[in-house]
Amino acid sequence: MPRPDEIPHPPETAPSIPSGAARLGPSCSTSGELQAKEDVVIQGGFKGRILLPANSLYIDKTAEIEADVTAVQVVVFGKVTGNIQAAGRVFLAAESRMKGDLSAARVSIQDGARFQGHIKIESGA
Protein backbone atom coordinates (compact mmCIF):
# COMPACT_ATOMS: atom_id res chain seq x y z
CA MET A 1 0.00 0.00 0.00
CA PRO A 2 1.44 3.43 -0.93
CA ARG A 3 2.19 6.01 1.69
CA PRO A 4 -0.02 9.15 1.63
CA ASP A 5 2.85 11.25 0.24
CA GLU A 6 3.20 8.79 -2.67
CA ILE A 7 -0.41 9.10 -3.82
CA PRO A 8 -0.65 11.49 -6.77
CA HIS A 9 -3.12 14.33 -6.37
CA PRO A 10 -4.58 16.20 -9.32
CA PRO A 11 -3.41 19.83 -9.41
CA GLU A 12 -5.92 22.31 -8.08
CA THR A 13 -7.19 24.64 -10.76
CA ALA A 14 -7.01 28.38 -10.29
CA PRO A 15 -10.24 30.27 -9.75
CA SER A 16 -11.34 32.08 -12.88
CA ILE A 17 -11.18 35.85 -13.07
CA PRO A 18 -14.68 37.36 -13.32
CA SER A 19 -15.22 39.32 -16.53
CA GLY A 20 -16.87 42.25 -14.74
CA ALA A 21 -14.05 42.88 -12.28
CA ALA A 22 -12.45 46.31 -12.04
CA ARG A 23 -8.99 46.34 -13.61
CA LEU A 24 -5.71 48.16 -13.20
CA GLY A 25 -4.12 47.38 -16.57
CA PRO A 26 -0.55 46.31 -17.28
CA SER A 27 0.58 49.86 -18.06
CA CYS A 28 -0.77 51.18 -14.72
CA SER A 29 1.55 51.70 -11.79
CA THR A 30 0.16 53.40 -8.73
CA SER A 31 0.55 53.68 -4.98
CA GLY A 32 -1.60 54.49 -1.98
CA GLU A 33 -4.67 52.77 -0.60
CA LEU A 34 -7.02 50.88 -2.88
CA GLN A 35 -10.56 50.25 -1.62
CA ALA A 36 -13.38 48.76 -3.68
CA LYS A 37 -16.79 47.16 -3.34
CA GLU A 38 -16.22 44.89 -6.33
CA ASP A 39 -13.67 42.28 -7.41
CA VAL A 40 -10.37 43.78 -8.61
CA VAL A 41 -7.75 42.53 -11.09
CA ILE A 42 -4.28 44.09 -10.97
CA GLN A 43 -2.11 43.61 -14.04
CA GLY A 44 0.45 46.38 -13.43
CA GLY A 45 2.22 47.69 -10.36
CA PHE A 46 0.80 48.72 -7.01
CA LYS A 47 2.46 49.82 -3.77
CA GLY A 48 0.55 50.51 -0.56
CA ARG A 49 -2.53 48.89 0.95
CA ILE A 50 -5.44 47.02 -0.66
CA LEU A 51 -8.77 46.69 1.17
CA LEU A 52 -11.51 44.52 -0.35
CA PRO A 53 -13.34 43.27 2.76
CA ALA A 54 -16.28 41.83 0.79
CA ASN A 55 -14.60 40.98 -2.53
CA SER A 56 -11.75 39.18 -4.28
CA LEU A 57 -8.37 40.31 -5.58
CA TYR A 58 -6.74 38.74 -8.64
CA ILE A 59 -3.05 39.48 -9.18
CA ASP A 60 -2.19 38.77 -12.81
CA LYS A 61 1.10 37.24 -13.96
CA THR A 62 2.29 40.68 -15.16
CA ALA A 63 1.62 42.35 -11.80
CA GLU A 64 4.14 43.37 -9.17
CA ILE A 65 2.53 44.25 -5.84
CA GLU A 66 4.15 45.69 -2.71
CA ALA A 67 1.17 45.88 -0.40
CA ASP A 68 -0.64 44.48 2.57
CA VAL A 69 -3.90 42.97 1.34
CA THR A 70 -7.23 42.31 3.06
CA ALA A 71 -9.87 40.53 0.95
CA VAL A 72 -12.29 37.63 0.92
CA GLN A 73 -10.23 35.73 -1.67
CA VAL A 74 -6.80 36.44 -3.15
CA VAL A 75 -5.56 34.70 -6.30
CA VAL A 76 -1.89 35.28 -7.15
CA PHE A 77 -0.27 34.63 -10.52
CA GLY A 78 2.28 37.48 -10.30
CA LYS A 79 4.68 38.82 -7.68
CA VAL A 80 3.62 39.96 -4.19
CA THR A 81 5.69 41.42 -1.39
CA GLY A 82 3.54 42.02 1.67
CA ASN A 83 1.08 40.28 3.95
CA ILE A 84 -2.23 38.83 2.82
CA GLN A 85 -5.24 38.35 5.07
CA ALA A 86 -8.21 36.59 3.47
CA ALA A 87 -11.52 35.68 5.07
CA GLY A 88 -11.76 32.81 2.58
CA ARG A 89 -9.00 31.47 0.36
CA VAL A 90 -5.52 32.42 -0.85
CA PHE A 91 -4.40 30.68 -4.05
CA LEU A 92 -0.77 30.85 -5.21
CA ALA A 93 -0.42 29.67 -8.81
CA ALA A 94 2.66 27.81 -10.04
CA GLU A 95 4.15 30.96 -11.59
CA SER A 96 3.54 33.18 -8.53
CA ARG A 97 6.20 34.69 -6.27
CA MET A 98 5.25 35.75 -2.75
CA LYS A 99 7.24 37.13 0.15
CA GLY A 100 5.14 37.81 3.24
CA ASP A 101 2.76 36.18 5.66
CA LEU A 102 -0.59 34.59 4.79
CA SER A 103 -3.61 34.40 7.05
CA ALA A 104 -6.68 32.69 5.60
CA ALA A 105 -9.32 30.02 6.14
CA ARG A 106 -7.83 28.06 3.18
CA VAL A 107 -4.48 28.23 1.40
CA SER A 108 -3.64 26.51 -1.89
CA ILE A 109 -0.09 26.56 -3.26
CA GLN A 110 0.62 24.95 -6.62
CA ASP A 111 3.88 23.17 -7.37
CA GLY A 112 6.39 25.70 -8.70
CA ALA A 113 5.12 28.67 -6.68
CA ARG A 114 7.78 30.44 -4.65
CA PHE A 115 6.68 31.42 -1.16
CA GLN A 116 8.70 32.89 1.68
CA GLY A 117 6.82 33.63 4.88
CA HIS A 118 4.47 32.13 7.41
CA ILE A 119 0.99 30.70 7.00
CA LYS A 120 -1.74 30.95 9.60
CA ILE A 121 -4.94 29.02 8.99
CA GLU A 122 -7.84 30.90 10.56
CA SER A 123 -10.92 28.77 11.09
CA GLY A 124 -13.97 30.95 10.75
CA ALA A 125 -11.81 33.82 9.43
For residue range 82-101, list pLDDT tens digits in order: 999 999 999 999 999 999 99
Q: Residue 15 falls within a domain, yes or no?
A: no
Q: Residue 72 falls within a domain, yes or no?
A: yes
- Dihedral of CA atoms 119, 39, 16, 92 in degrees, nearest 10, equals -20
Q: Residue 12 falls within a domain, yes or no?
A: no
The count of structural domains within the chain is 1
Mean pLDDT score, 45-56: 97
Query: What's the predicted TM-score (pTM) here?
Result: 0.88
- Structural domain containing residue 46: 22-31+38-121
Each residue of 20-41: pLDDT tens digit? Answer: 899 999 999 999 999 999 999 9
Q: Residue 16 falls within a domain, yes or no?
A: no
Q: Residue 13 falls within a domain, yes or no?
A: no
Mean pLDDT score, 44-70: 97
- Dihedral of CA atoms 77, 82, 84, 85 in degrees, nearest 10, equals -170
Residue 125 binned pLDDT confidence (cut-offs 50, 70, 90): very low
Measured CA to CA, the distance from residue 71 to residue 53 in angstroms comes to 5
What is the residue-averaged pLDDT of the chain? 91
Please classify residue 87 by burial: count the beta carbons closer than 10 Å to its beta carbon, then call 0-12 exposed, 13-18 middle and 19+ buried. middle
Q: Residue 83 falls within a domain, yes or no?
A: yes
Each residue of 100-111: pLDDT tens digit? Answer: 999 999 999 999
Whether pLDDT at 7 is above 90: no
Q: Residue 91 falls within a domain, yes or no?
A: yes
Q: Residue 68 falls within a domain, yes or no?
A: yes
